[in-house]
A and B are shown apart, each in its own frame.
Chain A
């Protein structure tokens, strides 16, 4: 398997624009996680899905952020409108999560810069 695939790797956009980040999890994994990494706050869990259903979105910072998982092989994280403080590296991860000792596999991340 190619691992978790994220696109794009880098995104530069202007404030107010819509941004869509994409993720393809590892085939057969039931859980998908979106994390955000910044110097100030470290790695924060934004939302996660189980079998395409959002389970916990309490980490989503505000209504400008939304995430979907229309099928088992694709998820998106959308920011509309984007703001400079959204600049960060966004990671997608997936896991089998049969139990809580199962590791998560991470993509290479999308570095978002909002100017």
Chain B
């Protein structure tokens, strides 16, 4: 079945460091890809998305490019802040006969210190 694999965390960085969180996927169809973020004590919220190959999603300084040839959607940020500390989830959805549902990776915890 469809699945998402993320790098294991936690990731610990100093403020202004470069961030990469790896995400690869397996899908039978042509998926849309998402990154969600979960701040402490809150639900998940959409960070960015890409719906076709070579699309780049971006938001709040974060970027991810849909790479069909490597089935990847790695999340990057050039300079992280303490406020970026959260859990990041890579996800995909594909159409099926009855509807759609997001399939998530296990999440990667990011901790940024000043």
Contact = CB atoms under 8 A, between A and B. Distances in A.
A12 interface: no
Given A43-B89, A91-B44, A104 B98 contact: no
A104 to B, nearest CB: 6
Contacts of B102: 33, 45, 93, 104
A62 to B, nearest CB: 20
A103 B34 contact: yes
B43 A109 contact: yes
B24 interface: no
Contacts of A108: 41-43
A27 B14 CA distance: 41
A55 B41 CA distance: 29
Interface residues of A, number: 26
Contact of A97 (B36, B94, B100): B100
A93 B95 CA distance: 18
B45 interface: yes
Nearest to B48: A103
A18 interface: no
A70 interface: no
B43 A48 contact: no
Contacts of B89: 43
B32 A100 contact: yes
A39 to B, nearest CB: 9
23 contacts: A42-B104, A43-B44, A43-B104, A43-B106, A43-B107, A48-B99, A50-B98, A55-B98, A91-B44, A93-B43, A93-B44, A97-B99, A97-B100, A99-B100, A100-B31, A100-B94, A101-B32, A103-B46, A103-B49, A106-B44, A107-B43, A108-B42, A108-B43
Interface of A: 4, 31, 33, 35, 41-43, 45, 48, 50, 55-56, 91, 93, 97, 99-109
